[in-house]
Structures are given as structure tokens and as C-alpha cells.
Amino acid sequence: MSGEGGDFSMFGLFQQEVQTHGAAIEQAFASYRDEPAKRESLEAISNAAGSIKGAALIVGVAAAGDLAAALESRFAAASRHNQSAGPGVIEAAVAILEIIQSIAAAPESDALAWHENNREALQKALADFNAAQDASADSDPQTPADAKAAPPAKSASFEIADLSMLDLFKQEAETHSRALGEGLLELEKDPKSPTLIEPLMRAAHSVKGAARIVGLSPVVELAHAMEDGFVAAQKGEFLITAGHIDLFLMVNDLFIELAEVPEDGYEKWLNDKAGEFQSLAKTVRDGQSVAPEPDATPAGQPPVAAPAEVKAEVNAPSRPAAQKPAEDAPKKTAEQAEKVRDVRVSAKILGRLMGLAGESVVESKRLGAFSENILSLRKDIFRLSNLLESAKISLDSGETREHIGISLAEAARQTRLINEAFSEHFIDFESYSTKADDLANRLYNRVLSSRMRPFGEGAQGFPRMVRDLARELGKKVRFEILGENTAVDRDVLKKLEAPLNHIVRNALDHGLESPDERGAAGKDPTGGLTMEARHQAGMLSIAIRDDGRGIDVENIRDKVVERKMLDPEMAAELRHHELLEFLMLPGFSTAKSITKVSGRGVGLDVVQNMIQEVRGTITIDSAKGAGTTFLLKLPLSLSVISALFVDIGGETFALPLHKLDRIFTCAESDIQNIENREYVSFEGENIGLISAAQVLDLDAPPTDNRRICVVVISDGNNTYGLTVDSFVEERDISVRPLDPRLDHVQDVGAAAILEDGRVILILDVDDMVRSVDNILSGGRLNRIRAAKEAAAAKRKRILVVDDSITVREVQRQLLESRGFSVSIAIDGIDGLNALRCDEFDLVISDVDMPRMNGIEMVRRIREDDALKEMPVMIVSYKDRPEDRARGIEAGANHYLVKSSFHDETLMETVVELIGKE
């Protein structure tokens, strides 16, 4: 923090803390002098010093924080181990307290910069305090022998002072270790730049301060050594070389590893790593004595590892986690995902979510008023119903016209009031519905945005990996990451680590040449490697480009023939991009030798599989001598996709839009037959057609649509046109994975639940392409027009006549689910017109309908010579014997009540009259 980053609005509170807790410390000092055996005074000093330390670190007064931390640590240890503080320690502690109080009394800006402006005074105060402690420990017979030893041994037992602050420390360590990693790689390019050293010094200081808060003394010592190194380099006391960068990166690896340690494993981890911390701290301090010297690395050669005196000490610690082989990374990530489910959300986003949640609570309370209005409307409708029933009874009983007129007039008035109330309530409800939809969309989009993370967060380890691997391979590389702020779903970002890791390593090993090769080819000895992320057409596009030797496609062609994957004649016909596809096959490699980096023929197939797991695609483009580009296209989010809803065989399915090449419609007359295969020409390309119902093995007839709806899918090499019944709509849906117990369901990738509760299956387009290949190779392709004609000829047609839209819809769905073709009419006149204009196998009619009832329609059918043989079924709510008799006498073949919808009676009767579909 050191003069920057302080919260000036909190400085007054810091001054109050120093005043209050400083007085408590002075009182404890006096109490301890009077009663040295009273250990409560030591504990009081430690607690008060810890409070001052916390306040100083929050505000950014680094010097006060360091001094208070020293007091807290010493008196906490004395209290814990029942040690004597000693008069010398008390006097030195008094001097430290006076410095803290003078810092708090200074102007805000001076207090924040005190650490930098009075570094020597700060170091002297701490040194005097440490010397007093050592003298006290030597003279105190009660002090345990191990407490007198200077640095803790590897077997020492570390105790964390404040477990409640561990989460904050982990965030601090993660943030500052990232800054250190990125800054060190930049510093290596310009080691004399003070502007690059300054933020590194501050980051190391922040790690030190955060470690002090939780009592991680080994981390404090190591971070302090690193900070001193940056300070010395900034003053020009020594030149930071590649060896020093290696050393600082090893220290930073420990910080990174520390941030990932589970809370309950901190003390064990510190005990296990104690020797490594001490060794690295000593090496860092010894390395600072290296005299400044110019970089004598010859042009075109990899930089030297480190000065001898630095390198000798660095070999002792074990390899840090960040340098483990890349193949371990996915496993580690998976294990962490199982253990840690917490995610970080910025305060800004959380605040907006809280605001939207508050809005939703307010809006939901409006539903209570709607409920009351609807209940009131229901009562009015009930009164209207009673009035009409009363008028009917009066009419049946032969009462006077005047009496009936009064009842009808009251019913009319009640109807008018209901209409007015309904209109008013409908407008209110429409307004509420609009606001609720807008609120739901805003809340949904805000929650979705909380899942998004910048691409740079997932790519932060690549600069370090490129640097280390390039040095190992003896190559010089200029690595750039573009589009670091591109938003990516956190799940996609996590799954990208391993594929990108492999592609980058391949580019370094195979793609980029050595400096000598590049120089001989007239290229810059330093190779270029770029990773770029951006949003394109609703997708995340990631390109990894190098300007290396490129891929020799002729070499691939020779390998294909050599391995007998294709005969020479067919291999000779393959195009450039088709040959590059072979690199994605398991075990396929063009490397002449196997190295520990690559060459075994494994990796790119795994990369492709992982990309496909997240519903993405990968393509390769390369030019010999000019470089190679890997282009990855992935969905922005795994939880939400844009999908096209289509009807196939009477059911609705979803197709991910990013997997579709195009959609279009064509007339049946546009379909052409070539060698017993059906094609349609679209935009100058012949597209082979296959029924989606056949691919999904749905034994359902196509619709009566006059135009053919086509969805074009492909796998990069083959393109097919799936014919579907109809296009329904395009919409965003939330993806729900299938139950793991189902294992793999052919042609189905996931599911979605719609607002009305329906479950929609999301089809796996890649799987469908393979299914089409299997159908074609097995010679089982059905012709579209032939199947359509055969199905149309086979289907029985039924006319449903009913004035109730609900009844019509129920009957239509019931009959169509059994394979019948259904048309509808709204009354008897409409039904007779339909019968005279088209052909049907059966009529199902209601009785009570406007204009012409069902009984009259049946009589008209029987009187018509062209229709008199038509089977007719009456389905009515009236179930009295006399009602049945009227229907049969009119000429109906069967009379059923509408309760038959709930059992098989209706379908059994239909089959009895006209047979199965």
C-alpha cells in the first residue's frame, strides 16, 4: 500500500483506534511493570496492537501496520508460551508505540507515505525491538530453547493468528500473485525500468502485510525479502537478470500455491514447506548482492539461467505447483471444482441483483390486488349466471313477458358491468405483465452476467508457461494476449485451460523455429505467438496464431497413405483443409521425433473432444513458412443457448443455432432425384435431403404443409439437409443436462424446461450427422416425397365439428396422437361446407351449436346423396336417454358423452367405424 491505495475517508477512524488502543497499551505496560507475573497484561498488549495493525492496513498506513504487527507477534508469543517480556523489551515497545502515535498525529498524506520517507528509522526501530527480544530470551531461564532459535526449523509448528481473515488473505494472495507474475514477465523485457519495478515492490509489500494479519510469519519473511530485492533494484544497487526473474517467479509460485490451500490445511502446508520458505528467503537475500552487470547474452541465444551464486541455492526447493506438467492441470482443476463451489461476484453486480430482487418483491405484492379483483369478478359472473338461470326458469314456467324482461334487463346491466370491470382489470394486468417480463429479463441477464469472467482471467498463466517453455526449447518468443476483457462464461473459461495449453505448447514446439532457423529464413529471430479472444456472431471466437514454419500438408498426405488410412488415388484428391482435419485423429502425428513436449500423436484429438463437449468447433488454417492459426468457436455460455424450435413427427425439438449452417423452405417440385438420392439446389449448392423423423426413428407421418422445411447441418466435410415438419420459433433457452443415469442418448444432447412446464429435448447436431452417415452407408434412406405420399394416402381424415375451442383442441390432439388427420369446423353450417369441399372418413359433432346444431347437420348429411354413407358420431354433454334417441333417429352411427375423452371409448368407437390409421 505504501502511500497509495489508502482510504482517506477512514483516516480519522484510524487515529481514534491509535488513541484508544494506544492508551490501553500504555496502561498494560504500567500494569506489567508493577506485576511481571501478570500474563493478562501481555495478552492485552497483543490484542490492542492487533487492532491498531488491522486499522493501519485497512487505511493503508503501512509503517504503523508493520510496527503494530511486531508488537502483536512478540507479546502474543510471550503470553502463549508463558514467557517474560523483560524490561528491555518493554522500553523498546514503548519507543515503537511512540512512533505509531506520531504517525497517527501526522497529516494524512504524510502518514501514508511515512513508510517510504522514513525507511531507515522504521528498520532501526524494528531492529532495536528484535535485539531487545533476543537479549530477553537469552536472559530468561523460562524461555524454551526452541523459542531462542532465530528462524523456525522445518519441523516447527506454525499457528495462524486469525482464521477468520484467511479468506481475505487468499483473495489478497491471489490478486497480488497475479500482478507479480505478469509484472515479472514484463520486467524481464526491460529490467532497468523503475516504473515496472515499483508495482512489483508494492505487490510484494501487500502480500507481506496480508500475511502478517493472519500470522503467516514464513510468508512475511519471504515477501519481505522479495520486497527488499525490488527496492534495491529500484535504487540501482544490482541489476535484475533472468536468473533473478526465475527466482522471483519461484517465490510467486509459492504464493499462488498458498492461495489454493484449503483453510484446514494451512498449518500442515506451512510446516511441510518451512524449509523451502527459509531456503528461498535466504537465496533471495543472497542474490541481491550480485553486482550490476550488462546482459552479455549473445544475440539469438536463450538467456542465461541465473548467476552461479543464485542458481546454486535455487535447486534446493521442490518444483512449485505452477511448473507441474500440463497434463496434470485438468485433474487438478476437476478436484478443485469438487471441493470449492464458491464463486466471486463483484459488489457492483451484487448490488444490482439486490436492486432487482427488491423490485421483484414490490411487483409481486401487486398480485394480491389482482387476486381480489378476480374474486370480485367471479362473484359478478356468478350473479349473472343466477339471473340468466332465473330468466330461463321463468320462461319455462310461462311467466309474463314483463317479468322475464326485468330479469333479462338486470342480466344485461350485470353483463355490462362485468365487461367494464374486465376491461379495466385486463389493462392493469397487461401493464403488470409487461413490467414483470421486463423485470424477469433484466434479472435473468444480470444473473447471467454474474457468471461471466474476463478471458484474461483464464489466460493469466500462459505468459509464464510460454516464457519457461521457450527458454527450455532455446527459442525466443514474443507472446501477446488480445481481448483480455472479452466476457466468457466461467464454466467455458475453466474448460478452455487444457485445450489452449496444448495448442500453445504445440505452437512453441512444432510451429515456431529456433532463432537460427528464423534468421536463415529471413525472419525476425524472435517468433510471434498471439492468442486473441473476441465475440463474433453471438459466439466466443479464440484464435491462436504463430508466424512459424506452418504445417506441411503434403507431409500429412504422405502419412495418410503410409498408415493406409486412404489409398494414394483418394489421398491425392483431398483438399488443403481436409488434410488438416487428420491432425485431429487419435494417434496421428507428423513429428519426426518424440519430445517431452509433444510428438506422441495425442492431444489434438483430446482438444477437439473437449471443444465439442462445450458445443464448440475447432478449425486449422496453415500456410507453409507463414504460420498456423487454430480457430476455436464456442458458445458464450454453457447454461443458455439460442435455439431453433422445430416440429418433427408431431413433436417439438430444439436445435442449437450455432450448430446450424442455414435454414430455408422449398417446394416439393424443387426436389430432384440423382442416383436414387433426393437433392435440392440452394444458392448454387446441391444439398442432400433426409427426413429428420427417420434420423430420430420417429414413426410419425409428416404434416400436410405444401412447402418443405429444411435445416442444413454439416461436420465440416459433409453437408445434409434435414427436413422437418415446420419451423416454430427462435428463442433463448436454459440448458438442463440429462440425468447421468441415462448415459448417452443417441441424437439428444440436453433438455430445456419452458415457461409452461413442457420439457423440450435439445438435439445433438454432431450426433445427428453421424446418424445420417450410418443411414446412408446402410442403404436405408427413405425418399421424402414417397414417404409423404404414402403417409398421406394411409392417413384417415376426420372432421371435428364443435363450437367450443377447448373441446375441438382436445379432440384434435387426441386423434392426431393416434395418427389421424384432423380438420375442424365451428358449427353445423361450417361442417357441411367442409364436407362438400373436401373428403373425410368420419364426422364427430357436438349437438348444441349456433346457426345449425348437430342434430340438424346429421339430418342434412343423410339427405345428401354424396354424403349419406358418411360415418357420423355425436359427442355431447347431454346424456339423457331421450337425447341419445334424438341423435340416433337423426342418423348418427354412435352417440357418446364427452366424459369419454378420459378413457378409450372414443378411440375404440373411431376404430370401429373407420378402422385404424
pLDDT at position 900 is: 60
Residue type, 753: I
Element (H, E) at 527: strand 526-536
pLDDT of residue 334: 39
Based on its alpha-carbon atoms, the radius of gyration of the chain, rounded to whole angstroms, reads 41
Task: Please give the Cα distance from 241 to 890 (Å, whole number).
Answer: 106
Retrieve residue 192's grid coordinates. 532497468
Q: Quick one: 606 exposed, middle or buried, by C-beta within 10 A (0-12, 13-18, 19+)?
A: middle
Measured CA to CA, the distance from residue 635 to residue 659 in angstroms comes to 10
- At 72, list the grid cell: 502483536
| Beta bridge partners of residue 685, listed in sequence order | 682
Residue 579, H or E segment? helix 576-580
* Integer Cα distance of 458 and 465 in angstroms: 13
Whether residue 220 contacts residue 65, with contact meaning beta carbons closer than 8 Å, is answered with no
Q: In this predicted structure, what is the pLDDT of residue 348?
A: 64
Cα(194)–Cα(228) distance, integer angstroms? 14
The pLDDT score that the predictor gives to residue 314 is 38
Following DSSP, what letter does each residue of 19-35 receive, concatenated? HHHHHHHHHHHHHHHH-
Q: How far is CA 472 from the centre of its chain?
A: 34
DSSP 143: S
Name, in order, each residue with C-beta under 8 angstroms of 777's C-beta and a sequence gap of 6 or more.
none
What is residue 543's predicted lDDT score, i.e. its pLDDT?
93
Tell me the pairing of strands 872-876 and 842-845. parallel
- Is the pTM for the entire model greater than 0.85? no
The C-alpha cell 405483465 sits at 433
Q: What is the pLDDT of residue 326?
A: 39
Strand bridging mode 872-876 / 894-897: parallel
pLDDT at 600: 43
pLDDT at position 336, please? 40
Strand partners, 759: 753
pLDDT for 799 equals: 92
- Do the beta carbons of residue 764 and residue 656 sit within 8 Å? no
Block mean pLDDT (10 aa), the chain, length 917: 44 81 83 72 81 79 83 76 68 84 81 76 77 58 40 38 57 77 81 79 76 73 81 78 82 79 73 78 67 40 38 37 38 40 61 70 70 78 79 74 77 82 77 76 72 81 85 88 86 82 87 89 90 84 91 85 83 82 74 52 69 79 88 78 85 86 84 76 83 80 68 80 88 78 79 79 86 75 59 74 81 83 87 85 87 88 87 84 84 80 75 77
- 3-state helix, strand, coil split of the chain in percent (to 5) is 60, 15, 25
